[in-house]
Structures are given as structure tokens and as C-alpha cells.
Amino acid sequence: MNLIILSIVFLVYFFVVGYVGYIAWKSTKSSDEFMVAGRKTHPYIMALSYGATFISTAAIVGFGGIAGQFGMSLLWLVFLNIFVGVFIAFVFMGKRTRKMGHNLGSLTFPEFLSRRFDSRFIQYFSGGIIFFGMPIYASVVLIGAARFMETSLSISFTLSLLILSVFVAFYVIFGGIRGVMYTEAVQGTIMFIGMIFLLIFTYWILGGVTESQTALTNLAPHFPASAQALGGTGWTTFPTLGSPFWWTLVSTIIMGVGIGVLAQPQLIVRFMTVQSDKELNRAVLMGGIFIAIITGSAFIVGSLSNVYFFNTLGQISVDVVGGNVDKIIPTFINLALPEWFVYIFLLTLLAAAMSTLSSQYHAQGTSLGRDIYETLKKKKNIESIPLTRIGILIAVILAFVLSLILPGSVVAQGTALFYGICAAAFLSVYICALFWKRTTREGAIAGIVSGTVTSLFWLIFVYGKTAEGLGICQFLTGQPMLIPTMPWPAIDALIVAVPISFIFTIVVSLLTKPMDQEQLDKCYRGFNSNKKIEGK
């Protein structure tokens, strides 16, 4: 370990990020600037900020590790990330969100829904879901980066968590969303370059694209017997249809994240930071390329790590790391790549972690300060920034504590869990808010509540991994889950909760009085134009 090189790399990185955060702090004076960057963000910054928020250490370390276990079938998630998470999100939902958010003067996602349906309950209930649910996601992102710091720098896991938490908290608390987005643009650039090099170098050390892919296919007889019993067939083939492996891969990993991305509050608010549809159109290409490179590289490298480990150590990836898939990517980097790249890749992971964490902390802070406290107290703007900063500090502490107590191999699972909860609670109502004027206040409330309740019930009593882990079902009923027969324990809550939420939203809306026409005219004003949004 060359401490001089390491010190120089880190000093340069922290100086650049710190300087960018300082610039953002100097230009952040109002709640509008703190929460939506004055609605004048450059498309390059918006695209990289969106991508860097979306793709974190959870994708690189967590899902890269899952690819080491499941194989190349995880590349279907890359397709959904690009088609749903970028194209559909930007072109069909982002434009309407931008215009409606401006019409309503909303600064957060819960406030957006609240003002669309004229309901204070929606704002503080949605804010509560975000504030109390997001620490799970933030903690697994922290774990992903801290595991690599622990492996690469030979420092304790706890110290790694502490360093990350303190530094990210500093520039988010003072810089607001502008500080978050500016630093994310820097971090996204680092991630992009680092992952391209990782992919090229991995193929190079394994003899080329064709040779490495053939070698991975030929490793199928060494696919773990335990995984084969659950339906796994190899690293370059899809699991057996309907098997536990198949359900976990499709419903939790691919659909949970690939569809759940549409309802992520920290991503949706990005649409409200640009001036016009033109910026969103320009951001689509950049965002798509960014996500394709980052996620595609992580999943391919995670799968191919099996070839490297088998050739050099005679074991597949899961066995090398003792079953903790969160360690597959960090271990591969440290053993297979030159020392100087370990430092560069550490920066890549730090950038990935810090970019996502900053958005998560900002979303939690605004949820507590603006969506919960101000809504319940019926106060607006007076104490918005101080309370948001307090909320961010609480969010940092919660994520740090959770990171210390969560078990191994939890990064990808924790990410999918939060994405699924948000999809269950918000997706139906968010889509109806944008595209169906007949949606009523009562329908929106019914959709959010039914989706949330169904999701939590399924996670506690039916879905095998969470039901067994929490132990609540065992305590109340005497059995680990209510329906032990396949495929129910392997079906993700999103598959059940999202349709139920849609049904409640639509049926209750049809049975209740339509929204006031004046309110609807205000919401949908200018939907046929592409005028720039002037800063308030």
C-alpha cells in the first residue's frame, strides 16, 4: 500500500468535491434554491446527478456481487434501467412532472402529490414513508463503500462508515440540492471513467471477450449445488422458469429495481430542477449511456470474477468470499487489478456512495422539515432550511447505526426492498396524478395507504427473506411465514402491492366526486407548451 499515492489521490478528490460543495453553498440562499436548485440546472449536471443518484455502491458492489452469484441474466436489469429508468422516466413522466411541479410551486415529491390532490395528509404521510424507509437504502449504500475501504485500506469497517458519513453530511447540510447535484456531476464523471477501465481491464486479463465469455459458460458444472437446487443453471443462462431463483431474480432484483425506479422520490425531484423539456431531452442520451456503462460493467465484471477466481484459486466467487456476495467485487479488484487502480476504483466507489447518499439524506431532510413538520404545524418556508438540515443530520445518524447492525449480503436486497416499498406506495398515484385528471383526493389517499399496507404486510408475513429475518410472523402465528408453499415466499411485495394500489386508486376515484376544475386547470396549465420555467 503506497500511502503517498493514496494520500495524493484522496486529497485531490476531497479538495475538488469540497470546492464544488462550497460554490453550491455560496449560491444557496432560499428554500427554492436549497430544494430544487432554483429550477435552472444544466442538462449535463441533471443527467449525471440523476444517474449518480440512481447508481450507487448498491449497483456496483451489491448487484455486482449478485451477478457473481446469479450470472449474466442480471443484464436484463440494465435494459430496464435504461428503458424504464431513463427513457420512460424522462420522456413521458419527467416532462409532465417538471411542468406540474412548476405550476404548483412544489419543492419536494410529497409536496408535489399533496398540491396535486389538495391534501395535507398525503404530504406528511408520504414524507413519513420516505423519512423512515430510506435509512434502509442509505445504510446498504454506506455498507457497500465501507466494505471496499475496509478491504483496500485495511481499516476497520466502523471507521470507514464514520469517515463517509461525516464528509457527506457536511456538504449536504450546507449546500442543499445544488451542493448535491454539483458534487454528483463530479462523482458521476469519476464513476464513468473508472467503470469503463474496469470492464476493459477485466476482459484483457481474461484473454478477451470471446474467451472470457466461453470460459464462464464452461464453468456451469461448478455452479453451486445449493443454487442448482433452487433453479440456477449457470452464469450465462437464465434460471429455471418459476423456480425460487427465478422469482428472486425477476420479481425482486429485476422488476423491483427496474420498475421501482419510477417512484423514487430522490430521482423524481430532479425533474423539477430544469427549465424546460429541452433540457430533459438532452439529458436522456447522457443518462442512458451513463447507466448502461456503470451497471453493465458492474454486472459483467461480477459474473466474470468467477472465471478469474476459478483460474487462480480453484474456487468460484461465492466460495472465495465465504458466502458474503457484498465482498465479491472488492475482493476481485484487490486481487486482480494493479495497486494504482485500486486507488482509482476506491474513488469510483466513494463517488458512487457519496452521490447516492447525498440525495438520500437530502430527501429525508426535506421530508422531515418541509413535508412532516411544516405540514403538521401549518407553517411554510419560515423554518424550512434549518429543519431540513436537522432532518439530514438525523438521517445520517440513522443510516450509520443501521449499517453497524445489518447482516452480510444485504446491499442488493436492501436496495430492492426500498425501491419496492416506494413503488407500492407511490407509483400508481404518481402515474394517475400525471395522466388521469379524474383521479380524486380520496382515490390518491386510498392508493398510497393500500399500497403501503399491502407491501408491509407481505414483507412481514409472506415474503420469505424478510418474514424470517424479522420474526414477527413467527412470534404472532408460530410459523415463519403465512404461506410456505412455493412460489409465494419468493414473490416480491411489489408484484402484489402495486396492482392493489392501482385498483384502489382507480375504483375509489370513480366512486368519489371529481376534483375541482379550477384545481385541475392549475395543475395541467401549459402542458401543450414548452416554455422555460422562470426562477421564482
Structure-model confidence comparison of residues 399 and 50, the more confident one: 399
Residue 431 lies in a domain: no
By the 8 A CB rule, do 329 and 308 touch? no
Distance separating alpha carbons of residues 90 and 122, to the nearest angstrom: 24
Confidence check: pLDDT of 307 > 90: yes
> In the numeric block, which cell numbers belong to residue 510?
370513480
By the 8 A CB rule, do 366 and 123 touch? no
Q: Which domain holds residue 70?
A: 3-108+129-264+280-420
Return all residues near 279 (Cβ < 8 A) that are at least 6 apart.
41, 42, 43, 46
Position 217 confidence tier, pLDDT thresholds 50, 70, 90: very high
> In the numeric block, which cell numbers belong to residue 153?
485500506
Helices marked H in 27-156 — which ranges? Answer: 31-36, 43-54, 57, 64-70, 75-82, 95-104, 109-117, 120-153
What is the per-residue pLDDT for 408? Answer: 60
Return all residues near 439 (Cβ < 8 A) that are at least 6 apart.
117, 429, 432, 433, 505, 509, 515
- Report residue 444 CA to chain centroid gap: 24
What is the per-residue pLDDT for 140? Answer: 78
First-to-final CA distance of the chain: 52
Torsion sign (Cα): 69, 71, 74, 75? positive
Distance separating alpha carbons of residues 228 and 207, to the nearest angstrom: 28
Residue 524 lies in a domain: no
Residue 444 lies in a domain: no
**3 state DSSP class of 482:** coil
Position 24 confidence tier, pLDDT thresholds 50, 70, 90: low
Q: What percent of the chain clears pLDDT 70, i.e. is strictly above it?
A: 81
Distance separating alpha carbons of residues 430 and 447, to the nearest angstrom: 10
By the 8 A CB rule, do 73 and 233 touch? no
Cis peptide bond upstream of 487, omega within 30 = yes
Position 48 confidence tier, pLDDT thresholds 50, 70, 90: low
What is the per-residue pLDDT for 512? Answer: 95
Helices marked H in 314-338 — which ranges? Answer: 317-320, 328-336
Question: 41-55, 109-123, 403-417, 420-434: which has the minimum mean pLDDT?
Answer: 41-55
> Would you tell me how many other CB atoms lie within 10 Å of the CB of residue 516?
11
Residue 275 lies in a domain: no
Position 107, amino acid = L
Distance separating alpha carbons of residues 271 and 284, to the nearest angstrom: 12
Residue 164 lies in a domain: yes
Structure-model confidence comparison of residues 361 and 193, the more confident one: 193
The structure's pTM equals 0.80
Residue with cell 486481487: 335
User: CA torsion, points 225, 230, 234, 237, in degrees to nearest 10?
Assistant: 170
Confidence check: pLDDT of 30 > 50: no
Residue 448 lies in a domain: no
> In the numeric block, which cell numbers belong to residue 287?
443518462
Residue 316 lies in a domain: yes
Confidence check: pLDDT of 160 > 50: yes
| Mean pLDDT for the stretch of residues 182-211 | 84
φ, ψ dihedrals at 489, nearest 5°: -65, -15
| Mean pLDDT for the stretch of residues 192-199 | 87
Distance separating alpha carbons of residues 154 and 363, to the nearest angstrom: 32
Distance separating alpha carbons of residues 5 and 12, to the nearest angstrom: 11
Residue 311 lies in a domain: yes
Distance separating alpha carbons of residues 24 and 28, to the nearest angstrom: 6
Total count of domains within the chain:
1
| Mean pLDDT for the stretch of residues 288-301 | 88
pLDDT digits (tens, 9 = 90+) for 222-264: 888 777 877 888 888 888 888 888 888 888 888 877 888 888 8
> In the numeric block, which cell numbers belong to residue 370?
418541509
